Amino acid sequence: MARMRAMLLDAPGRPLRAAELAVPDPGPGEVLVRVLACGVCRTDLHLVDGELPDPKLPVVPGHEIVGEVAAVGAGVDGIEIGRRVGVPWLGRTCGTCRFCRSARENLCDAPLFTGYTRDGGYAEYTVADARYCFPLPEADPVAQAPFLCAGLIGYRAYRFAGQAERLGIYGFGAAAHILAQIATAEGRQLYVFTRPGDRAAQDFARRLGAVWVGGSDERPPVPLDAAIVFAPVGALVPAALRAVDKGGVVVLGGIHMSDIPAFPYRILWEERVVRSVANLTRADGLGFFEKLARTPVTTETVRFPLEAANDALAALREGRLQGAAVLVP
Ligand SMILES: [Zn+2]
Ligand SMILES: [Zn+2]
């Protein structure tokens, strides 16, 4: 039986372990994907830290997978061996619950999530449900990897920010640096908030077109139409509410966040809205990749060998990365 290298989470709170596993067989409707690159997402940190309930254990993390189809299971149509594909967080949905039936498959009652409740891409191979893979153009797989979650979730958050002319972003990491390029290409003015004093992140944001950058403890020079909070810091929610104008929306882009402190009703008053973003739909993905085909977006990545996954996670945790960490098997 063919073997592969993988990084495995045995239990939350423990470092990932380098393991040798059998190359999985694609079941009906599935494809075997040879992983070319897999991005490291903040959600992987939440998984490793035990902040996400009920993971499959042990589990191979990783849900920003760029690879090529190495084998197809029974009944797979229209996706041939050798095809470049991306495998995102949304691994499968039931198709029958009331969320699936109302174009909200991101909220499915019985979903599977890549690298969380099914094995993901911190490995040489993974299997995926063919219907949830996105066809990708041939390009540098390391550069493409961050699109698969940071890009997709950022894009969904951006859609919920509506027609905001003045758009705030709290936390300038992997998602924000992709989104910034799309938003500025569409004529939005970007106001970027980073950790106070994080000059590297602030310079990075300015380089990608922000009209104003500052610390998260600062107020923007003008009231904003919308703000997206990518940093997993609950205290930023009232800060963002204070930064948005009447009718403004604050979109929370993360799967986990520290507690939101109590705040006075008057900063929510006047029809300000706070909303979260959960997962993605396949329609989001198609819309996003279509947008990428028209709007050139470059990603800033830091490449790590697969076996250095723990180092990549530590760098992300400590805020030492500029752009996105990507594992290469
Ligand atoms: Zn993610
Ligand atoms: Zn469902």
Q: Is the pLDDT of residue 69 over 90?
A: yes
Q: How far apart are CA 128 and CA 138, in angstroms?
A: 19
CA of 265 to the centre of ligand 1 (A): 32
Q: Tokens for 7, please give them.
A: 């990084």
Per residue in 255-276, pLDDT (tens digit) is: 899 999 999 999 999 999 999 9
78 pLDDT more than 90:
no
Percent of the chain with pLDDT over 90: 96
Q: Residue 89 class from Cβ within 10 Å (0-12 exposed, 13-18 middle, 19+ buried)?
A: buried
Q: What is the mean pLDDT of residues 113-133?
A: 98
**Band of pLDDT at residue 202, cut at 50, 70 and 90:** very high
Is there a domain that residue 235 lies in? yes
Q: Is the dihedral of CA 278, 281, 287, 292 positive or negative?
A: positive
Residue 169 has a pLDDT of 98
- What rounded mean pLDDT belongs to the chain? 96
Kindly state whether residues 70 and 181 are assigned to the same domain. no
Whether 124 and 190 map to the same domain: the answer is: no
Q: How far is the CA of 43 from the centre of ligand 2 (A)?
A: 22
Tell how far the Cα of 19 is from the centroid of ligand 1, in angstroms. Answer: 23
- Of the bound ligands, which one is closest to the alpha carbon of residue 281? 2
Q: What mean pLDDT do residues 197-222 have?
A: 95
Whether residue 138 sits in one domain with residue 35: yes
- In the chain, pLDDT over 70 holds for what percent of residues? 100
- Between residues 102 and 320, which one has the greater pLDDT? 102
Same domain, 116 and 50: yes
Q: Is 157 found in the same domain as 142?
A: no
Quick check: 319 pLDDT over 90? no
Q: How far is the CA of 221 from the centre of ligand 1 (A)?
A: 32
Residues 35 and 168 in one domain: no
279 Cα–ligand 2 center, Å: 13
Average pLDDT over residues 231-236: 96
Res 155: pLDDT: 95
pLDDT band at 81 (very low <50, low <70, confident <90, very high): very high
Asked if pLDDT for residue 320 goes beyond 90, the answer is no
Residue 28 Cα to ligand 2 midpoint, Å, equals: 19
Are residues 21 and 114 both part of a single domain? yes
pLDDT for position 224: 98
Does the residue 193 lie in any domain?
yes
Residue 300 DSSP one-character state: -
Domain holding 9, by residue range, is: 3-148+299-328
Q: Which ligand is nearest to the CA of 232?
A: 1
Q: Are residues 140 and 172 in the same domain?
A: no
Residue 282 belongs to some domain of the structure? no
Q: Which tokens sit at 201?
A: 């992140």
Spatial contact of 89 and 113, defined as CB atoms under 8 Å apart: yes
Q: Let me know whether 37 and 128 are in one domain.
A: yes
Per-residue model confidence as pLDDT tens digits over 1-56: 799 999 999 999 999 999 999 999 999 999 999 999 999 999 999 999 999 999 99
The structural domain count of the chain equals: 2
CATH number where 261 lies: 3.40.50.720
In terms of C-beta density within 10 A (0-12 exposed, 13-18 middle, 19 or more buried), how is residue 58 classed?
middle
Instruction: Give distance in angstroms: CA of 279 to centre of ligand 1.
Output: 8
323, pLDDT greater than 90 = no
Q: How far is the CA of 87 from the centre of ligand 2 (A)?
A: 19
CA–CA separation, 269 and 141 (whole Å)? 45
Nearest to 52 by CA among 322, 232, 230: 232
